[in-house]
Structure 1
């Protein structure tokens, strides 16, 4: 995995019966406007006239284009689902700058995509939802506030704050590489302290002192592939620091304390959240238990966890048996009950 994807991930911080299979995928170039910028992507559709149930794909933390998530796109289309996969803000052919955006901006982008689909005759406007992965799980709440969907489908969705996910993910990496919980907590404070300084312009001297100490700490030598000091680009004092909106950080770093549980409490649409038990980016039990109490009714928010899958839903490089059928079945029938075994 590339260094920029890893640091972006940290700043996150900073199946039942088979459905209909089609033999062809039709694609159509589309564009739409969000926050004054034009975003470009591809609408992939099954063979036939439709109208088709559809999803808008919402990206994870790293820069992404329509070329990402192709395996998911193909699988959903073969299940009879239309998929809008667009170049993320500032990536590929899309305008804007990802590094200056927050989760709300990305939500506006996804909402604009959903509005585009809602007005098409070949799309079933009563089965139109958001599909997300990782950071996109936060974004889809902001998107739903702007353009309500009929359902949400999330892969490796964080139900904790970005600040809490940084803490968990740093601890996972540090402990796996022989470090201690104390050092993991120290490095977490260093990362989140960087973002807090950019936001408040307070604590500069203390953060720079810790920065110097960590750079010389031998415990960092084995972690340099994961924690790249050079990616923390703003080291100037408060008087020279650009406005927070102009600082280059991952969108989730601008919303470190966003708690999605409050958003789940206001939802009254079907939600399916799918996880891999080998996911090292999320505390799975806490992630599920935080959401269950706020569901409007039994079965409104459902979960599925695959024992040997990781955060990308791979099990030894392959998707779990039934996983793709489960996604397609839920999009076609959002009220379906998900098997737990």
Structure 2
């Protein structure tokens, strides 16, 4: 959630830098980007991948990466793995509005591109001009509109957000925009949640104004880090709903602490070690949240006490491992001079949610290593018991992104999205209710209306 936008190790020195995005895209692949529907009604999206490849996503959750072959057909791999996929696509020449699929259960045959109403626009926020795009299903009737609040990535949402096609294909309008400092938007990249929430609130107003009479209920849809930003934006705007996927109801410092616990437990360490690690992340969290003004003496003491033990060297998390290896002074220098994006390390999600008065859908990944779900699940259950209008859904056997995976010698490899996930998002955004079942989704809160 934060790591992808902040921390990468640079060699043995464990120095830190920020990642970059917006790799060049091949026009010969871009011309095929779009969402398509088969004669049987099955929906499949083609999205860009850096370079000349494409990524297809089927509404049922199947996904793969394809490249053009010598025979003119496109084929490739399953999910984000290197495993071959039997699906083959005849995309035709640029400018064609149909494609032919074979080898993909439920999607074989000719699929026609779904025509969408697309308006590129700009809007002002905090003295900056941000680039946005409104995408609506074709027609004249009002439709719900979700404003996409994406995560910590630095890439252009207008280039990369597949939701701008997958949601309208299900009858839901969507507004995507390049965050400040990304894509065609002005400003510096930021992880200041208040600033980002202000931008999202202005995006929502722009979406409502641009849609005019076609605007039904308009709300916010945040993924990953967007799960901190979207609820805050709801308190700054007239949003009528909030959707969050694989987000957290704890502070970013708690994300680091949870990751450390998961990592050490997976390595086989016992509760005594986990308790010691928790003491360490409490201190590293205080240092981050206070701007390095609190906790330095305690940090030195704990490092001196346990620094030679095996488990100590295995601590990673979002930032704790880097801080332990570099020391507070070294870490602080690199962080403040090369990395700091104003991250709201002490963000209070519970206080924010107490101010959100509109319906909320929250989707958890039960095996999420990047945004561990246990504390978030407990908090949301408590809020639901208090009568908050929250629909909580969990896909138990998925990782960040609601992605199913296989364990390999080198770690997890994502194979597909959970069955029912895309349809669940579309149903709730469109109708304000769930009518399941949605694959293996587990639901809490108001009962699901069965068909």
1:24 Cα offset (Å): 2.5
Which of these residues, 137, 140, 144, is aligned with residue 234 of structure 2?
144
The 5 A counterparts of 1:81-120 are 81-99=172-190, 101-120=191-210
CA contact (8 A) 2:134 2:207 kept: no
Matched residue, 2:411: none
The 5 A counterparts of 1:196-211 are 196-198=289-291, 201-204=293-296, 207=299
Matched residue, 2:34: none
1:314 Cα offset (Å): 1.0
Which has the larger share of helix?
Answer: 1
CA distance in 2, matches of 1:155, 1:288: 13
Matched residue, 2:21: none
Task: Spell out, residue by residue over 1:107-140, the C-alpha distance to the aligned partner (whole angstroms, 9 max, x if none).
Answer: 0010010010111245644411100112211111
Give the root-mean-square deviation of aligned CA atoms. 4.1
Identify which of structures 1 and 2 has the higher relative contact order when contacts are C-alpha pairs closer than 8 Å and 6+ apart. Answer: 1
Which has the larger share of strand?
Answer: 2
Matched residue, 2:248: 158
Count of aligned pairs between the two proteins: 325
Which stretch of structure 1 is more off in the superposition, 133-142 or 331-340?
Answer: 331-340
Which of these residues, 153, 162, 177, is aligned with residue 62 of structure 1?
153
**Structure 2 unpaired stretches of 5+:** 9-39, 44-112, 406-414, 444-451
Task: Spell out, residue by residue over 1:72-95, the C-alpha distance to the aligned partner (whole angstroms, 9 max, x if none).
Answer: 332212101121221122122222
Which stretch of structure 1 is more off in the superposition, 122-131 or 210-219?
Answer: 210-219
Matched residue, 1:304: 393
Matched residue, 2:427: 329
CA distance in 2, matches of 1:2, 1:297: 30
CA contact (8 A) 1:20 1:78 kept: no
Which of these residues, 349, 367, 377, is aligned with residue 260 of structure 1?
349
Which of these residues, 106, 114, 120, is aligned with residue 29 of structure 1?
120
Task: Spell out, residue by residue over 1:236-255, the C-alpha distance to the aligned partner (whole angstroms, 9 max, x if none).
Answer: 799x999x9x994355x434
The two structures have a TM-score, normalised by structure 2, of: 0.60
CA distance in 2, matches of 1:140, 1:164: 19
Which stretch of structure 1 is more off in the superposition, 325-334 or 259-268?
Answer: 259-268
Which of these residues, 123, 132, 143, is aligned with residue 52 of structure 1?
143
1:232/1:300 Cα in 2 relative to 1: closer, same or farther (>3 Å)?
farther
The two structures have a TM-score, normalised by structure 1, of: 0.77
Larger Rg: 2
